[in-house]
Structure 1
């Protein structure tokens, strides 16, 4: 077997890729005014795709955005209303100020075609009928995205391929380019989230996840931040926080996804306020309740000037709590304004 860099968790892969791209780049490139350090043809595998989050005090990821992006894809939406709430900067990639094109992967995956079926439907149906198939490919990149040289939002992902082997669903993604510091975190999170959901719908186990990138890069404005992050990860005696990753329950179905999306919209628009008790009353399993707890914490951060209430923080999964409290330190302590 040909060797491929293999890591037990995304945290480990993240540090290794950042280190190699920043400290041992093959090229320095400048495209569309962006100077970057670049490695070509980077591939790695994660043996446990559920362990999809890095835990670094120098870069506590926005777990609310990660969850929202995965759900945005599942909804098939391409509007800025939902995803722009969690990441306002994404508006710079919209040509009309209202929608996204290449970045809106859900539109490609979950919009019904002329036969009334989505790409997602066809691929899962294929695997039901032919588990050993090599054709279970989801296409993202469209040739017409290059028709307009000024297109601000060309898909970074070319395709993703499901491979069902020995009752385990593996996923391989193929990307033309990936921002190792910022974009890779959310891309791997969303793709492995979809992988886990697909495995549950198929009634099989989650296999490994493999990430292939033509141009892995770190942008020049992020060099200092990346080096500080690497210094943290490589310091003597460093031990990263270890949390058991939440596991999507089996069975899970589109009912849970649609219920969470309905609640997310109500929280995003500040028309609903939740407590752990009202979230439990939705009837969602605990895994999906945790998603709503994150969104409620985020609602309080966005729509109030008070600290996140202790009942919400205490009810959060330990890993989620770590991320929320480290990313929004001034909103998760008693002395916050």
Structure 2
């Protein structure tokens, strides 16, 4: 079974999205404490609790365990720790642990002893008729729900930046650290490369509805790629866009001292591109193999932005869910779950 080739943040996203099948207005996601990782020899992994209060009064709690070594199944020690945490939640009537990397036989036995249900998030490859009969569809999720996304992208771009405080020319590399006005590590963008990624997305987020991008999108349909590893592209056109970034409070250290980046000009070409496919995942009961819920995640390259379709085995209803995190929220989650 192949493992999930996605950022660790998607584990709690998927569990939260799947739990929307019960009560979308009463789903709570809480970042937990570090969990001792026997393989690493220290507390380095984080559990995320998804709590659902159903209309019938039952409360379900799911411990979504985000491991940094996704190829290793959860073992007895981790299940023991998570079970103790679940037992401390006195109001919970149903307890579960969710993994994206499976469980050892010992972990399964320990969970059964404590009455804890185990779920695994897996690539959604089984035919829909086997787990989602209410949909009355035949075939796999990607066959029944083919997807593609079209985005405005910068290609062959270069940057020019303005700093009125700079007394001499200076250069910035992608891995150079960014600081705030006080000279401390920047709270959102750790490196200039991360800041550049944000600015490229910010720029196309402004330009996509303006001319000439909007006319070119209507005039030249973006072709579909021939396979999932290719990108379909429309014609490119030269463009320049200047962004005022004083509000980001980004400073860099130079030989002349600390200076603020006030504006950045992006020069290059813009192009509409189409990527085929989405991420298809199902949350399954490890013992029975029954599906809890399935989710189709739009393949968006910007972390913290997703569009998802959520399906359940006992209903034909398909929920459309939008997820958008601010840079501050993304940084907060990253600080808790992605530090290695």
Scaled to the shorter chain, the TM-score interval is under 0.3
Larger radius of gyration: 2
Give me the TM-score of the superposition, normalised by structure 2: 0.25
Q: Greater strand share, 1 or 2?
A: 2
Give me the TM-score of the superposition, normalised by structure 1: 0.25
Specify which structure has the bigger relative contact order, considering alpha-carbon pairs within 8 angstroms and separated by 6 or more residues. 1
